[in-house]
Amino acid sequence: MQRAEDVRTELAWTGNEHRNEKPMMDPAEAADLIQNKLSTWLHEFIGLLPNLVIAALIVVGAWLLARLVRRGTLKLVSGVTDSRNLRRLIANTTYLTVVLIGVFGALSVLHLDKTVTSMLAGAGIIGLALGFAFQDIAANFLSGVVMAVQRPIRTGELVETGGHKGVVENIDLRTTELRNLQGVQVIIPNKDIFQSPLVNYTRNGIRRVDLTIGVSYGDDMEKVEQVTIEAVKGIRDLVPDKEVELFFNAFGDSSINFEVRFWIKALSNKHYNAMRSRALKAIKAAYDKEGIMIPFPIRTLDFGIKGGEKLDAMLGGRRP
């Protein structure tokens, strides 16, 4: 009895499954459905064709206008800065801006405003993520842009920053290349230059040379001053409107010390060292001629209990 009920239940489920199955589509009906879809798409394309033409014209026009704007921007910026990288950056930025405006306008004509909004939102998110991922590169790039505008250094100038001293050979938007005084190439990130103290030895066009010298206590200080100044004035390539200065500054262990200051043109570090060398040779020659002595270090032996007693006085005039 139980077996018969199970058989009837199984037959009932089988019947329901057959009733729920969809009948197979006839090939003719499938062809009609595809034809209707293609026809609908064709009608929609024909209706959208004028907007497509307008959108294409907008994109082409924006591209042509962007090229003209880029050329005009290059000419305009050339009169403001001589930085090739900065000129290219500004010109390419204006070019890309005009092209993007044209693309967004074309999408608006095609009634794809939501696509434009999604693209802008996606670009913002991507830009934010890239900013966090490459913040050092972005900081160097922005520092390079600011340096290109302010121009604290130029190619060929002698500078010192971050413990590195050398001649600027190339300034990029991310790094600056120096050639130090030993001829070694040094590449410094622009962020380090922008955030660190910077010494530019060339920018003012002139540079002061300081010499520290000592003369004997037995020499006349007025004579020393006159002879020294005249000796320095006799060398060539001094800045004509800058006076040679001399200042006595200390009583040394074996000499009276003073400092001589004079100005030269800031041509190069080699020129600076050559001028120092000329001045020292001229001063030494003048001292030899005038009998002025640059003393060696002197040590005085004191044999007295209170100090200042000579050896023969301590011995009572007796010879050993």
What are 53-79's pLDDT values in tens digits? 788 888 888 888 888 888 888 888 777
Half-sphere exposure of 302 (CA within 13 A, CB side): 6
Instruction: Considering only residues 178 and 310, tell me which one the structure prediction assigns the higher pLDDT.
Output: 178
Which residue matches tokens 């040394």? 252
| 43 Ramachandran zone, left/alpha/beta (phi>0; psi -120 to 50) | alpha
Name the pLDDT band for 6 (thresholds 50, 70, 90).
Answer: low
CATH of span 206-290:
3.30.70.100
Domain 152-200 matches domain 206-290 at the CATH topology level: no
Domain residue ranges in the chain: 37-120, 152-200, 206-290
Q: Which residues contact 144 (CB under 8 A, 6 or more apart)?
A: 85, 171, 172, 173, 174, 175, 190
Crossing angle (nearest 10°) for helices 84-109 and 113-133: 150
**What does DSSP assign to residue 238?**
B
What are 219-231's pLDDT values in tens digits? 999 999 999 999 9
Considering only 98-112, 113-127, 145-159, 239-253, which range has the smallest mean pLDDT? 113-127
Neighbours of 233 (CB within 10 A): 12
**Domain 152-200 bears CATH identifier 2.30.30.60:** yes
